[in-house]
Structure 1
């Protein structure tokens, strides 16, 4: 996708996924790059995960490449300066006292095995809450323990894609593409959509070819322009998160996570091989089908809409403008 003609930046405000909890083991440090910033993620031995700006201000070494976790700090691999989970300089090995200086700390949340980070170009703290994989669907009760843990079982990742998250999140109001892109046997219907502050809630019904009744309902929450939370009701009962996180002005990382119900009596953490393969071929593969479109898609600022597209598409695009170029927030009011 050619991003040069898009009427918005690749650095919107919101929550974005930066990985899965299982990728950040206790006592390890990892380099990351998102929103044009070099970052370091490290987890202390007691399990706290922190994300800081990645370069030590002493002489610029990257803390994620060779950095060592010591207590609640990450130590620079160059001269051993230590930075705690709040980003504060906690120790300089060859000096009696640390420096009164800090690295930027990025807000992170871990939820059911996923790691999310807040991004705001103004440096403001989170302006809204992160949706929840299970609790955001009060009409569809579910417990995490009733599903296999996704990491290692049912996740997919696409790195450094030249695909803007705005384009991918517009799938939230697009029911027609299921038939043509994913070979759905029926034409799903967008039954309802409503905007609630930083969230767009949609409901899509899949009709049974045999009865004409709704056999499967997709409940979706689009949060800003970086996250999509979905829960299926009916013939399937799995849940998923689709996330696009800008790396820089030209590329984006995509994460796809599926929570699938356990087989009866199975309390283990690993899916049966046949189930894992079925999820990969039937569900995870749908993201590859979408990517085939998005990678070569041209963004059309003023589309020629079909009649049923006009209201939801125009409402969504108007709403998503709210996530670009937000003014600084009074941090005392957050």
Structure 2
């Protein structure tokens, strides 16, 4: 036996749990039904606080909370006026694009006010009954669109109101990596075998085929994942929209849908059992869904940037290379001020 490899033996002392910034992409903010016209609230997302508001006409805005004038927090005492967010301190008003639209006492305003946005706001879309925000560390505009998802957009043909939300004390990449790590399905979840997995990548989109058609998944960036599970010819769908709350905290959110089978039908029974299996432990099955077993790992693991992998581990490194595109460096002018 030669001298020990100290890098391997001692590396865990220097590892970080979540050594990543917040990734760029579309992320779920809240359900549309939860934000009424004229309402504003403070929300914690992307490692900071924001003010989420809905104009009296229905449009949604999400802004940095601190007024560019003298720094008042607009989520404490601020007000929605028409489609604008009004600061409580001096009643400066901002639209959902960050332009200052009113300074009630000023005859001469700083030139930048007329020229460009002065309040950071995030691009917002309402789709699938959800409010989505585009987050980019350098404030760049969206580089892809949210997809069409028939299960949650079509007026008929699908049903299912079941939703869930779970807190994981880890970063969003660690949660997503489970999709390509099929070996853990046998040893952590108790699946009868390690299912084969194929992953393909196209820009911000990753497609997964787990178990040769058993699970077909499509990830649209880091914040939206559509997984279709098929058993006995019946398909049920999990729409997953995880939020990066901070560098080390993620909120997993999911909606579950399936075709609108007739009441009492065998197909309906199978579809409901598939959904149960996605989450926890379905009746009569020995393997368990993520709720039962994954959190004890996610909440306590460290990230190994140079893992020791073997032939059954799945395309972990390819996944990490794909995910890396969503990490954007802080702009140079901001780094200089840090």
- CA 1:74 to 1:279, structure 2 compared with 1: closer, same or farther past 3 Å? farther
RMSD: 3.6
Q: C-alpha distance in 1, partners of 2:273/2:76?
A: 37
CA distance, structure 2, for counterparts of residue 55 and residue 3 of structure 1:
36
Query: Equivalent residue for 2:4?
Result: none
Instruction: Point out 4+ residue stretches in structure 1 off by more than 4 angstroms.
Output: 93-99, 277-282
C-alpha change, 1:66 and 1:3, in structure 2 (3 Å) is farther
Match of 2:175 among 162, 168, 171: 168
Equivalent residue pairs, number: 301
1:28 paired to 2:57: no
Calculate the TM-score normalised by the size of structure 2.
0.75
Counterpart Cα distance in 2 of 1:194 and 1:25: 40
Deviation at 1:177, TM superposition (A): 2.9
Larger CA Rg, structure 1 vs 2 = 2
Question: Which of 121, 124, 129 is the matching residue for 2:137?
Answer: 121
Does residue 324 of the first structure (1) align with residue 327 of the second (2)?
yes
> Residue in 2 aligned with 1:9?
20
CA distance in 2, matches of 1:47, 1:284: 34
Q: Render the CA deviation track for 1:205-249: whole Å, top value 9, x for unaligned.
A: 2xxxxxxxx7x7211112333332212334442222323332333
Question: Residues 233, 64 of structure 1: CA spacing in aligned structure 2 closer, same or farther, 3 A cutoff?
Answer: farther
Cα–Cα, structure 1 residues 94 and 325, in superposed 2: closer, same or farther, change >3 Å? closer
Residue equivalent to 2:162 = 154
The corresponding residue for 1:75 is 86
1:228 aligns with 2:225: yes
- 116-125 vs 88-97, greater mean Cα deviation: 88-97
Matches of 2:182 and 2:247, distance apart in 1: 29
CA 1:30–1:142: 2 relative to 1, 3 Å: closer
Does residue 301 (structure 1) correspond to residue 317 (structure 2)? The answer is no
Q: Does the aligned pair in 1 maintain the 2:97–2:123 contact within 8 Å?
A: no
**Matching residue of 2:96:** 85
8 Å CA contact 2:170, 2:247 repeated in 1: no
In the aligned structure 2, how far is the partner of 1:280 from the partner of 1:46? 37
Deviation at 1:170, TM superposition (A): 0.7
Of 19, 30, 36, which aligns to 2:30? Answer: 19
TM-score for the superposition, normalised by structure 1: 0.75
Paired position in structure 2 for 1:271: none
Gaps of 5+ in 2: 1-12, 264-268, 281-288, 332-338
- 8 A contact 1:90–1:98 mirrored in 2: no
Q: Secondary structure at the match of 1:322?
A: helix
Q: Does the aligned pair in 2 maintain the 1:108–1:118 contact within 8 Å?
A: yes
Does residue 1:63 correspond to 2:74, yes or no?
yes
CA distance in 1, matches of 2:52, 2:247: 21
- Identify if the C-alpha distance between structure 1 residues 47 and 262 changes in structure 2 by more than 3 Å, giving closer, same or farther: farther
Q: Shift in Å at residue 98 of structure 1? A: 7.4
